[in-house]
Amino acid sequence: MLIKNATVCDIDGEKEVDVRIEEGIVTEIGSGLQGGEIIDAKGLYFMPLLADTNIRVEDSVLNAKNIKAVSNEALNGGIGHIVLNADSIPAIDNEIVLEFAQNGLHNISGAKVDLMLNTLKEDATLSNIAILLKRGAIAPYMSTIAKNDVAIKIAQYCQMYGVTLFCKAEDNSLISSGVMLEGDVSSKLGLAGIPDLSEVLHVSRMIEIARHFKIRILFKSIASPRSIYLIDKAKQEGVDVRCEVSIHHLLNSDEACKNFNTTAKLNPPLASSDDMKLLQDALKNNQIDILTTLHQPSSPVNKEVAFYDAAYGCEGLKNAMSLYYTKLVKSGMISMSKLVELCVKNPTDAIGEKRGAIKVGERASAMLFDPNKVVTMDEKLSLYCGEELYGEVKAVF
């Protein structure tokens, strides 16, 4: 198969070259290639499939049906590799649940699915991290509700096995009663708020643990500009910490919660309008390492209720590539090559893989993307439902 006239885009930039794929492997890249089945991709991007390391299944219920559904939806949206969150129902905190989830990976035809492990059991004690890593979990996940002695033991396991710690910075005593960001909007709605200190305090704490044990930490779905500043400063000092931010927190503020819009009830909560602009500035200033769709679908019965009782999360996989392209690339916030870095290279690097470049000899985990096609977002539980987006995934390899 020969792909001609496409704009090949990867972490090294954009170039007009032909790409030959044989049995799923890129065998030749050059100009004026001929022979074999030819796909004329004029006007299209040929680029790596995206990766997302912060995905949940419907209602967080872990079963084969939900895993298959999220895998298919991811691939349709241009995402070829996903990592499922470990704080599911049941949580992946023991060998039985891990094996159960791994059985659900058989015969999936969509995006590749990996599993992280939950380092904390329901009673906040330590799970058997070593066994779960040896049996195929890709990375350990920890909420900072863990006490210091437990967090230190988790860090020692990460040091021992050389894996990235996926860390959700949150304070149990501050998040327990709140349902959105503490601020003017929550006050007007009469809803209990969560202060952004809930995140910032624990980002600072975990940076020092990363510094002491010389481990790598990926802070999951950061929402506070102050947290990003602390992470960026630590990186400059040589601490191996990374920052992940969701597309929703870059594009929406807590104003989206007005009229008790439960689709905008996210975890972490959406930031204020001023902080949303600071998050966008951080993206432009290369202070954000990874982007995520923060896909967390819920059944209508768990969303179409009072705001306080509604489940957290919104849908983000359908037309994911179109959303990224429209809101970030076409708007001029970042380049297409930067998008590949944030959504392919850096997330796969966090789980010990090297992707993001289209090279001879490597498997063609790629897509053809038409940036001129206009699609309408029809995902009901999406923050962008009804919006027109640019771009459509035409084919995947």
CATH of the domain at 210: 3.20.20.140
Q: What is the number of structural domains in the chain? A: 1
Q: What is the mean pLDDT of the chain?
A: 96
Q: How many residues does the chain have?
A: 397
12 domain residue, yes or no? no
pLDDT attached to residue 172: 86
State the average pLDDT over residues 97-105: 97
Per-residue pLDDT band at 240 (split at 50, 70, 90)? very high
The pLDDT tens digits for 292-348 are 999 999 999 999 999 999 999 999 999 999 999 999 999 999 999 999 999 999 999
pLDDT attached to residue 358: 95
pLDDT at 175 over 90: no
pLDDT at 35 over 90: no
pLDDT at 102 over 90: yes
The two three-digit tokens of residue 263, written as one number = 């689709």
349 domain residue, yes or no? yes
pLDDT at 176 over 90: no
pLDDT attached to residue 221: 97
pLDDT attached to residue 174: 81
pLDDT attached to residue 173: 84
148 domain residue, yes or no? yes
State the average pLDDT over residues 264-290: 98
In this structure, of 135-144, 166-175, 294-303, the range with the lowest mean pLDDT score is 166-175
Is residue 262 exposed (0-12), middle (13-18) or buried (19+ Cβ within 10 Å)? buried
23 domain residue, yes or no? no
11 domain residue, yes or no? no
State the average pLDDT over residues 45-60: 98
In this structure, of 21-35, 110-124, 155-169, the range with the lowest mean pLDDT score is 21-35
4 domain residue, yes or no? no
pLDDT at 36 over 90: no
pLDDT at 226 over 90: yes
pLDDT at 68 over 90: yes
281 domain residue, yes or no? yes
Residues in Cβ contact with 179 at an 8 Å cutoff, skipping those fewer than 6 apart: 191, 192, 193, 194, 265, 269, 307, 308
212 domain residue, yes or no? yes
Residues in Cβ contact with 52 at an 8 Å cutoff, skipping those fewer than 6 apart: 74, 79, 81, 82, 83, 292, 293, 295, 320, 343, 347
State the average pLDDT over residues 195-222: 97
State the average pLDDT over residues 203-222: 98
Q: How far is the C-alpha of 368 from the C-alpha of 159, rounded, in Å? A: 39
Q: How far is the C-alpha of 125 from the C-alpha of 165, rounded, in Å? A: 17
Contact 26, 359 (CB under 8 A): yes
- Domain of residue 285: give its range: 49-355+371-391
